[in-house]
Amino acid sequence: MSSTIKDKPLISVITVVYNGEKYLEETIQSIINQTYDNVEYIIIDGGSTDGTVDIIKKYEDRIDYWVSEKDKGISDAFNKGVKVAKGDYINFQGDGDGFYASDSLEKVFFGINPKEDIFVSAKIQRIDEAGKEIFVSKQAKSFDKKSLLFRMSMPHQGLFTHRSYFEKYGLFDVENTFCMDYEHLLRSYHEFPKVVIKDVIAARWRADGIGNGRILEIFKEYDKIKRKNRVANSLVLELINYWTLLKYYVKKIIKMD
């Protein structure tokens, strides 16, 4: 699918999957049917034992690179994709995720300058397993890096990262189970690159991933990552941690009522 087109940056879209036959075809179609005509599509399968590989083979003439082999988890699979990607920008769409509409990339990359714009961030639509909307992410007019102290404010489904960022800050840390994309962003917290905000829904994020229902474990990994990257002093991080847990339990109590 990929080619060199003047004035249109090449977008490498990476899908990592393991036993994802239920939603993978939907994800693939959302990517190969983009009207934006400079896309490289990569699928990294972790050695699936269901019908995943058969689905990949069905579309392999529209896929630039794919492999099916055991890996060491999501971070490792992400890294395999990044290593083979040739694009100016890299984006991740898991099985079950996918672009919101056929013209999503056209809208996101209108007016983008690859020489200056390191991050391009667009909205995502959070959906349940049946595909029903849960919410659409909020998008400020300009990005405030302090939002990252409280949450992952640029979900990877709607984030397009210039390859120069990977060249400077490296690949994903395989020690992280849930929040490898979050840790990758926080490496640059003290010299955060330019973020271009796009007020469009770029992608869907399905609530069926490895972190579904494991919020407290995710919060714990968030805290570990923030401390590792020294984004604030210990007292501030402790207060943020307490505030995050308080909000979680209050919401849980309200739902019980």
Q: Worst-scoring range by mean pLDDT, 4-13, 111-120, 240-249?
A: 4-13
Share of the chain above pLDDT 90, in %: 88
Q: What is the pLDDT of residue 5?
A: 58
Q: What is the pLDDT of residue 251?
A: 82
Q: What is the pLDDT of residue 4?
A: 46
Q: Worst-scoring range by mean pLDDT, 9-18, 51-60, 135-144, 194-203?
A: 135-144
DSSP string, 172-227: --TT-SS-HHHHHHHTTGGGPPPEEEEEEEEEEEETTSTTTT-HHHHHHHHHHHHH
Task: Report d(CA 92, CA 154) in Å as an integer.
Answer: 12
- What are the backbone angles phi and psi of residue 226, rounded to the nearest 5°? -65, -40
pLDDT digits (tens, 9 = 90+) for 122-153: 999 999 999 999 999 988 889 999 999 999 99
Whether the pLDDT of residue 11 is over 80: the answer is yes
Please, are residues 45 and 68 in contact by the beta-carbon 8 Å criterion? yes
- The whole-chain average pLDDT of the chain stands at 94
Q: What is the pLDDT of residue 210?
A: 66
pLDDT digits (tens, 9 = 90+) for 78-103: 999 999 999 999 999 999 999 999 99
Residue spans of the domains in the chain: they are: 11-209
- Name the nearest CA neighbour of 2 among 43, 42, 54: 42
Whether the pLDDT of residue 257 is over 70: the answer is no
Judge: domain 11-209, CATH 3.90.550.10.
Answer: yes
Give the three-state DSSP class for 116: coil
The residue type at 95: D
Q: Which residue has tokens 């249109």? A: 8
pLDDT digits (tens, 9 = 90+) for 151-182: 999 999 999 999 999 999 999 999 999 999 99
pTM: 0.93
